[in-house]
Amino acid sequence: MKGLKPMGNLEKMHTGDLYLPDDPVIEKDQQRYLDRLYDYNHTRPSDRTQKQAILHELFAEMGTNCYVETPFHANFGGHHVHFGHHVYANFNLTLVDDTHIYVGDHTMIGPNVTIATAGHPITPDLRAKNYQYNMPVHIGKNCWLGAGVIVLPGITIGNNVVIGAGSIVTKDLPANVVAVGNPCHVLRSVSEHDREFYFKDRQIDPALFEA
């Protein structure tokens, strides 16, 4: 439309359009976030107050009682990451947060997990010009991502989902399922059996549900 200013690379980061990430405006902001992430990774684990303060500064949103073990890696230092309440992430979490990542309350993330929002064209001539696109990731409440899980751009994962270690999530997952594999697929639903047993034949004390 006449008179409309064309979108710049900074705006295109969040539209799914192809853009050029090596834009001086983007790079300046990114460097600032990465410098602060460096501070987080080099703050002593015993200094929890300072670590929490830096996390709240880094993330777009962070609920109460969240913790991310170090080392923690993020393209934009967590600047486009939205955590609900009581989210825990183990060592070596990698967030390719070139656009938004949403994680619901009470979700647990195992060690060496990667959640990526950035992609590149398959055609090599555009990759050679450094074109990129970003698609947001949505992870529901009360999920558990096992060690080494990889979540690809544009994925939505429902509530109460358990994803087995080493799985690569290439398609959306519905709520209330156990999913495994490469590519990740639904193995079964979360069921009453899971309220009786927590590991093989190890039974759950019913009193725990009342605590």
Distance in angstroms (rounded) separating the CA atoms of residues 140 and 88: 14
**Residue given tokens 């200094």 in the structure block:** 47
Tens digit of pLDDT per residue, the chain (211 long)? 566 678 899 999 999 999 999 999 999 999 999 999 999 999 999 999 999 999 999 999 999 999 999 999 999 999 999 999 999 999 999 999 999 999 999 999 999 999 999 999 999 999 999 999 999 999 999 999 999 999 999 999 999 999 999 999 999 999 999 999 999 999 999 999 999 999 999 999 999 999 7
Region of residue 39 (left: phi > 0; alpha: psi -120 to 50; beta: else): alpha
Tell me the CATH number of domain 11-207, given options 1.10.150.110, 2.160.10.10, 3.40.50.300, 2.30.40.10. 2.160.10.10
Active site (catalytic) residues = 120
**pTM of the complete model:** 0.95
Residue 109 token pair: 């993330």
